[in-house]
Amino acid sequence: MTAQESFRISSHLKDIIGRDLVTNEFIAIFELVKNSFDAGATRVDIEFDPDQRTITLVDDGRGMTAADVRDKWLFVAYSEKALATPDNYRDKIKPAGQFAGSKGIGRFACDTLGERLALYSKAEGSKRVVKLDVDWRLFEQDSTDEFQTITVDLGTVGEFPKVYNAPSPTDHGTVLVIKDTRQNWDAEAIHRLRRDLAKLIDPFGTTSHVSN
């Protein structure tokens, strides 16, 4: 006599597919910028606030509805790019080390960068901004907890959060506010990041200028 069973998933999965794959902070930001371009963004701004220990990424991509966040962003390893579109030039640009790419786990780069995440997104035609709050520390308390039983907060707000040095999205776009950063972003680290991002913006080195 047999019975059908299924795998159980430990909350430790978050680290295995997150910080163990997105191996450092530069690759993590590279992945998030790449995700923005894959969402149709023509502009991505990154703002650092060392005093508040935050990193804010702003893009003008397609944005997401609450259903998109629930059915796609929160669906671990779901990747529209892997399912529907061929590799493009961004997939051929790899900084040193591993990267999440079309595996659908680049969103866990947020965990590599900070302990908490506030995601704001607005799809074209939507009247309100979707807001998702994730506390990655909740997944680290007890590895016997099951991954899918740890909850996150999903709702809507009237507008995007204030961004000091970049324009907020208007009709559509996404803002990621990564809080309680895990690394020290000093001038040297930011300079290195700019150099690495230049490879994404201009992979073939055809221009000598990359915007701040």
For residue 109, tell me if it sits in a domain: yes
For residue 194, tell me if it sits in a domain: yes
For residue 185, tell me if it sits in a domain: yes
In the chain, the amino acid numbered 206 is T
pLDDT band at 106 (very low <50, low <70, confident <90, very high): confident
For residue 5, tell me if it sits in a domain: no
Q: What is the pTM of this model?
A: 0.84
User: Residues 152, 136: contact at Cβ < 8 Å?
Assistant: no
Of the candidates 145, 146, 151, 147, the one whose C-alpha atom is nearest the C-alpha of residue 133 is 151
For residue 101, tell me if it sits in a domain: yes
**Strand order across the beta sheet in which 54-59 lies:** 44-49, 54-59, 173-181, 114-122, 129-135, 153-157
Structural domain containing residue 185: 13-201
pLDDT at 202: 61
The pLDDT tens digits of the residues spanning 148-162 come to 999 999 999 999 999
CATH of residue 44's domain is 3.30.565.10
What is the torsional sign of CA 92, 44, 47, 12? negative
Domains in the chain, number: 1
Least confident of 32-36, 68-72, 112-116, 197-201: 197-201
For residue 119, tell me if it sits in a domain: yes
What is the torsional sign of CA 85, 73, 105, 162? positive
